[in-house]
Structure 1
Amino acid sequence: MPFLSSKESSKEILSPPPSSLFSNARTEGFDCGDEIGKAFDEFLEVGDKRALRLIWYGEPEKLYTERDEKTKSEFWLNNDVPMLQENIAFHDLASFMAFSSESVNDLNKHLKKEGVCIDSRNFRPTLVISGLPPYDEDSWLRVKAGDAEFICYKPCTRCVLTTVNPDSGEKSPKMEPIKMLRN
């Protein structure tokens, strides 16, 4: 897909219908325009099925959302809890997800018995980190990448989307890796 710059003139606020994915919570956003929408249509080969739009939640002081996330002490095991309250928009729970490649490698050792193999894409991470013990990310409070520092306010919830094959889009009939992670 070619790089497309956003147009400052596109400031139309859209209020999409409530989404059942996020408990029917309404969130407004800025429509980034026809050009990027058509580029996504072409790249994802949606044809005439639907027209895609890129919606931006970049100026939260101007936009309305019914979604917020508050830190809960039960999120963490034996850690000081960074108490945060964040308005969130179109992502699942957090604006980033950090994951260690060693966790995937360890999980695959156990999944081999089930005839299943996954990769980090099953967890949809923003950052994949290597060189640490498996599952170390479950106790991280901060992640630093260059000059950027991220505050971790919740370990990754092992949701059903981890069972979706990132190449085919099909859910694992064995419900792995979530079945193993929940045991």
Structure 2
Amino acid sequence: MQLTHLWRYPLKSGAAEALEAVTLGEEGLTQDRRFVVVAARGKFVTARTHPQMQRLALREDASGQWRLWHLDRPELGSISFATNEQSERLDIQVWADQFSALSVSAEADAWLSEQLGMPVRLCWLGERSERYREVIGQRVSAADGFPLLLANEASLEALNRETPTADHGMDQFRPNLVISGAQAWAEDGWQEVMIGDVRFRLVSSCTRCAMVNVDPATGEKRGDREPLKTLARVRRFEDGQVHFGYNLVAVEPNRHQTLRVGDPVEVMAFK
């Protein structure tokens, strides 16, 4: 088994960034989900309600002295901004977690508000997230609940064999780590895996909603309600939810290590 894809999402619900290598810290992949869009009273906004967010590509420009970011929506323009640890702090909410984040700029807020058709603000978590999740005992980014998401190529192939169109891509499921060489759904029986020289614990399988029906290339939901419709038939667990992929935490989360495409994957413990 090996690691075949590394993806991060600098903006929560934004476009994926494919990587060949990336460092890993306590909060997940470096620069993964460090930015989040919030609406009134600081509540987070995602592609669940605004699927066009998946076409918003946020990339860091590391060529200059200052940390500069470019936010782009294809064919609709872009905006650039710098981050500052001294910016105004805002109270925000991601699911049930309430914590503070840093404002970015009035210009970025106005640009995003125009794109989404509602008043929003863009927030940055800073170099160190203020969000702490008791369930895993560590700080996390603006990800839904866990630092990392793992997916198995063979499991997607098995799902596609069950769907009427069989054309679903892994990008619809928005994982960070994609592996090959395993049997379909083998991950259901794993407790710990080693990827390269980093050991991970599989905390829980990932429950899925209609967001997997969004085509990342267009930012629109599919009219056939796939693949969630098929997932509901073949991957509904005892909790009544449908599942695809697994949430991961690093066993030693404070060690800064590097993951690379091509890293070997080995199961270290089974359930």
Q: TM-score, normalised by structure 2?
A: 0.47
1:132 lines up with 2:182 in the alignment: yes
Any stretches of 5+ residues in structure 1 without a counterpart? 71-83
- Report how far residue 167 of structure 1 moved: 1.1
Aligned positions of 1:23-172 closer than 5 A = 23=96, 25-30=97-102, 49=115, 53=122, 55-56=124-125, 58-60=127-129, 63=130, 65=131, 68=133, 70=135, 84-111=136-163, 114-172=164-222
Q: Secondary structure at the match of 1:155?
A: strand
Alpha-carbon shift at residue 175 of structure 1 (Å): 1.9
TM-score, L = length of structure 1: 0.65
Q: How many residues align?
A: 152
CA distance in structure 2 between the partners assigned to 1:180 and 1:28 by the alignment: 38
Structure 2 unaligned spans of 5+:
1-58, 69-82, 234-271
Mark the CA change 1:120 to 1:49 in structure 2 (over 3 Å): closer, same or farther: closer
Q: CA deviation at 1:27?
A: 2.2
Aligned-residue sequence identity (percent) comes to 22
Match of 1:14 in 2: 89
The offset of 1:119, in angstroms, is 0.9
Are the aligned partners of 1:100 and 1:134 in contact in 2 as well (CA < 8 Å)?
Answer: yes
Say what the alpha-carbon RMSD is for the aligned residues: 3.3
The residue aligned with 1:78 is none
Flag the structure with higher helix content: 1
Q: Which has the higher strand share?
A: 2
Higher relative contact order (CA 8 A, sep 6+): 2
Q: Which runs of 4+ in 1 moved over 6 A?
A: none
CA contact (8 A) 2:191 2:202 kept: yes
AA paired with 1:155? S
